[in-house]
Amino acid sequence: MKKPILVAVILQLVITIIEINGYQFGDIIVFPRKCLKNTAKPLYMHYAIYVGPKSERDIGQGDNDIVHRTGDWDRSNCRFDKLAKVRDNHQEKKDNYLDGIKGFKPGSPDEIAKRIEKALKNCERYDLLTRNCEHMATFIRYGESHSLQHGSACQSVINVSKRAQELLAKVREHVMDEANCTLRS
C-alpha cells in the first residue's frame, strides 16, 4: 500500500515541477502580434514551444524557456529564447489547438525532445507559407507541420491549401463543441 502512495506523491511532485506559469514541456505558446485598429483580431500570431528553463528535461536550452523560429528572411533562425523577451508587451497563452482533433496526438516528451533537436539541426531559410514559426511548433508537438493562423487577420492569406482549410474547419468545430459543452454545464 505504501508503494502506490509513494508513486502518486512522486508523480504529483514531477507534475508540479514541470508545470511552471501554467505551461508544460511541449505546449504551444502563441503570441498575438500587432492588433489592427477597429478589429479585435491581431494581424498575425507568433508560435513557440515551451521547454522550461533548466527543467527536468535538458535539451540544451540552459535558462531559456521556449524554442521557436524567428522570421529573419535572410537566414534560418531556429533557437531557444526567453519567454519574457519574445513576449514583447503582448500577452501570450497556451494554444494546443490541434489537441482533440482526430488524427492529431501530442508527442511524448521524448518524441518532442527529438523533434526539437531535428528542427534545430535542420532549420532551413524562413518561408512565410511553408516554413514559419507555426509550422515548427506544430511539427514539434504533433509531428506534422501546419500553419493555420486561426484567430488572426492573416488567416485567410495563410490558409491557401485545401488541407489547411479542412483543418481549420475541424478546429472551429472543436472549439464550438467545447463552448457548447461549457454552456450546458
Structural domain including 116 reads 18-177
Q: Residue 115: what pLDDT?
A: 97
DSSP 106: P
For the chain, list residues with pLDDT below 70.
1-21, 36-39, 54-56, 72-76, 156-164, 175-185
> Which backbone phi and psi does 93 adopt, to 5 degrees?
-155, 160
Q: Residue 179: what pLDDT?
A: 61
Question: Is residue 166 assigned to a domain?
Answer: yes
Q: Residue 98: what pLDDT?
A: 94
Question: Is residue 106 assigned to a domain?
Answer: yes
Question: Is residue 137 assigned to a domain?
Answer: yes
Question: Cell 504529483 belongs to which residue?
Answer: 12
Domain count, the chain: 1
pTM over 0.85: no
Question: Is residue 4 assigned to a domain?
Answer: no
Domain of 86, CATH number, reads 3.90.1720.10
Question: Is residue 182 assigned to a domain?
Answer: no
Question: Is residue 157 assigned to a domain?
Answer: yes
Q: Is 152 exposed, middle or buried (0-12, 13-18, 19+ CB in 10 A)?
A: buried
